[in-house]
Amino acid sequence: MKKRMTFKRLAMALMAGTLALSVVPALAADKVTLQLKWVAQSQFGGYYAAKEKGFYKAEGLDVDIKPGGPDIAPEQVIAGGGADVIVDWMAAALAARDKGVPLVNIAQPYAKAGLEMACRADGPIKSPADFKGHTIGVWFFGNEYPFFAWMHKLGISTEGGPDGVTVLKQSFDVQPLIQKQADCIHVMTYNEYGQLLDAGFKPSELRIFNYTKLGNDMLEDGLYALGPKLKDAAFRDKMVRFVRASMKGWQYAVAHPDEAAEFVLDNGGQDEHHQKYMAEEVAKLIGNGVLNVDAYKRTAAMVLDQKVVKKEPEGAWTHEITDAALK
């Protein structure tokens, strides 16, 4: 009887061990924290799609997507160790790099810029020559660099007066144009422009100055990691897998904008109508994820010319990650 009980207990112990092993994955997923530039919205739909469709999981990654906001600077977050990779505009990343944060562009999902300036068609500004003596709404927090670079190129002071423009610090909405506090404001093709339409403006009632069409665009929404961390082979491998899965997410979001918008809504996004509008417009800006060197050089030259950075940037980008991820 004693032998029988011992055997039974042994069998039960082995069974329990087998069950325990069955619920433990063979390899734990590598954690990655992504810090977004702004709140959860379809501007970042590809990352939410990659997570919801299991593309990150398939690469052995556990990705935490952290939304941003008006009081969150991605450059500061990653510098403080709060993120492995961030979404940022190139000009802001170069400015942070010039101040000692060694940001490196590892991929560029946005091939085109979405920044525009919107003015009332019946207002005083018909062309860039009319900017002098008027008020322009401008975003800050790293979004101001394209505007100041453009004014510098035009030789227009940003200190006000009859020969300059008065800069109104614009909140992230379109109220300054609606309330006629500014003659022009800044909008994104995929966001605030749609807000103007929702507010009752017809396209014919707006005069649009598109930074890309004017040749004054700077690279937007790239992926950045810290240079010293990229020297570690394990971290580089993790970023290769992250970029590969992220671009699969972007490809999915471009092909299925409504579904991508739903993913965003499930993760804290607001206003279904606007998120779907945004997803469709964002899809027009997405490329293959590889940084265009000429676009980088144009952006770097503009921030250098404007003295946003003190010296010409070196080592601010790499193709190493996308070469491995997207081959």
Tens digit of pLDDT per residue, the chain (327 long)?
A: 444 444 444 444 444 554 444 444 457 899 999 999 999 999 999 999 999 999 999 999 999 999 999 889 999 999 999 999 999 999 999 999 999 999 999 999 999 999 999 999 999 999 999 999 999 999 988 889 999 999 998 999 999 999 999 999 998 899 999 999 999 999 999 999 999 999 999 999 999 999 999 888 999 999 999 999 999 999 999 999 999 999 999 999 999 999 999 999 999 999 999 999 999 999 999 999 999 999 999 999 999 988 888 998 999 999 999 999 998
- Give the domains, in start order, of the chain with CATH numbers: 30-112+219-325 (3.40.190.10), 115-210 (3.40.190.10)
Give the pLDDT of residue 1: 41
Which runs of E-coded beta strand occur in 14-93? 30-35, 61-66, 85-88
- The total of other beta-carbon atoms located within 10 Å of residue 29's CB is 13
Q: Are 114 and 220 in contact (CB under 8 A)?
A: yes
Which DSSP string do the residues of 137-165 spell out, in sequence order?
EE--TT-SHHHHHHHHHHT-BSS-STTB-
Q: Are 54 and 41 in contact (CB under 8 A)?
A: no
CA distance 187 to 198: 13
> How far, in Å, are 43, 116, 118 from residue 186 at the CA level?
16, 6, 6
> How far, in Å, are 1, 7, 12, 233 from residue 4 at the CA level?
5, 5, 12, 54
pTM beyond 0.95, yes or no: no
Give the pLDDT of residue 26: 54
Give the pLDDT of residue 84: 98
- The total of other beta-carbon atoms located within 10 Å of residue 102's CB is 17
Give the pLDDT of residue 14: 45
The DSSP symbol for 63 reads E
259 exposed, middle or buried (CB, 10 Å; 0-12, 13-18, 19+)?
middle
Name 85's Cβ contacts closer than 8 Å, sequence gap at least 6. Answer: 32, 33, 34, 35, 78, 106, 223, 224, 225, 239, 242
Q: Are 221 and 42 in contact (CB under 8 A)?
A: no
- Both tokens of 249, joined, read 């997410």
Give residue 272's Cα distance to chain centre.
20
